[in-house]
Structure 1
């Protein structure tokens, strides 16, 4: 709290003394102020273009093979162009933590088990199981994944459990935190 107080109190002083200063003096004072902020642990935060995508499955998938990629082919949002709706793969355009969510809907008597993978390694599972149920069971899973630039994330079937995913009701989305 003390750091914030000193930071807030020093800013008006910086502005007040620059009213009659030369451009070089203003730059010097700004650099000093910036050095103080950095020394106190505040980082220079720049606004960046967002990285986010939203995709959905347009057709019903049935009897997928072991670890087959689920391609969410309809893209409604792709800020940063990091999601490829042909391969179904999201490629990190820069280092960071990314948040992913995927939803699968199946039908009564069927099931569909998926996993999110980072560079081919399983991170989390999603099981939608309609066996013994009426209607259309749906499940959603979420994963926050630390990625390096060029790392790849996608959704694939877990084992041979890609029996039935209902098109039009399955989604995959992600965004950089």
Structure 2
């Protein structure tokens, strides 16, 4: 009986020892499992950082490539300018040397009627344009409405006139050179609609000729402004 009790005690102690060992192993396993999970999270975070760094490097590489291309273009432009400067001036086409450069003899003007209306214009009255947009050579006089040609030559002249909105409203104008009619224009607004007429001619003029626009309609008439009634011209230079 004592022997049997001893055996049971020994077996109980062994089982308790095994249970304690198993508990320790289980705790250790959980610690290892948590550590592995932490490492996996760290690896995933580092992978995202690597992807972001690769994208940043790709963007930097693209910027460097663009800068290199710009530097290459700048260098090419410098070489081209040096080659152009080495060409004797007499071998360069005149139109290339004079492009966008105003000459002292250049003459050009552009005037327009910006007021909403010019009303009560009578027969043979000169049209005055209130806004002189361009007046190279100062040949157009805003007070008289006349363009006085400073030099002999051929000139391109253009006129656009717009009638008012009134019912059955019409107007007629003449482009004048001194007392001579060069061309005519007509516009007929009807039932609340604008109408525009125009003239564009090339004519030979002498220095001192007075060119202007006058009304030739038999009754008092109204002109519509807003930039729709204009007068312009320039000296054609054959060089």
Q: TM-score, normalised by structure 1?
A: 0.68
8 Å CA contact retained: 1:111, 1:161: no
Which residues in structure 2 correspond to 1:4-153 (within 5 Å)?
49-59=105-115, 60-108=117-165, 109=167, 110-131=169-190, 133-153=191-211
Q: Distance in 2 between matches of 1:146 and 1:86?
A: 25
CA displacement at 1:139 relative to structure 2 = 1.6
Q: 1:118 to 1:87 in 2, by over 3 A?
A: same
Runs (4+) of structure 1 moved beyond 2 Å?
159-162
CA displacement at 1:118 relative to structure 2 = 0.4
Q: 1:160 to 1:62 in 2, by over 3 A?
A: farther
Number of equivalenced pairs: 131
CA displacement at 1:48 relative to structure 2 = 5.1
Residues 71-117 of structure 1, C-alpha deviations (whole Å, 9 max, x = no match): 11210100011001110000010001111101111234211210001
Contiguous gaps of at least 5 residues in structure 2: 1-102
Moved more, 47-56 or 79-88: 47-56
The answer to which structure has the higher helix fraction is: 2
8 Å CA contact retained: 2:171, 2:217: no
8 Å CA contact retained: 2:176, 2:213: yes
The answer to which structure has the higher strand fraction is: 1
Q: Distance in 1 between matches of 2:118 and 2:150?
A: 29
Q: Distance in 2 between matches of 1:162 and 1:155?
A: 16
Q: Distance in 2 between matches of 1:161 and 1:75?
A: 28
Q: Distance in 2 between matches of 1:61 and 1:76?
A: 18
8 Å CA contact retained: 2:156, 2:234: yes
Structure with the greater relative contact order (CA < 8 A, sep ≥ 6): 1 or 2?
1
Q: Distance in 2 between matches of 1:161 and 1:155?
A: 17
Q: TM-score, normalised by structure 2?
A: 0.51
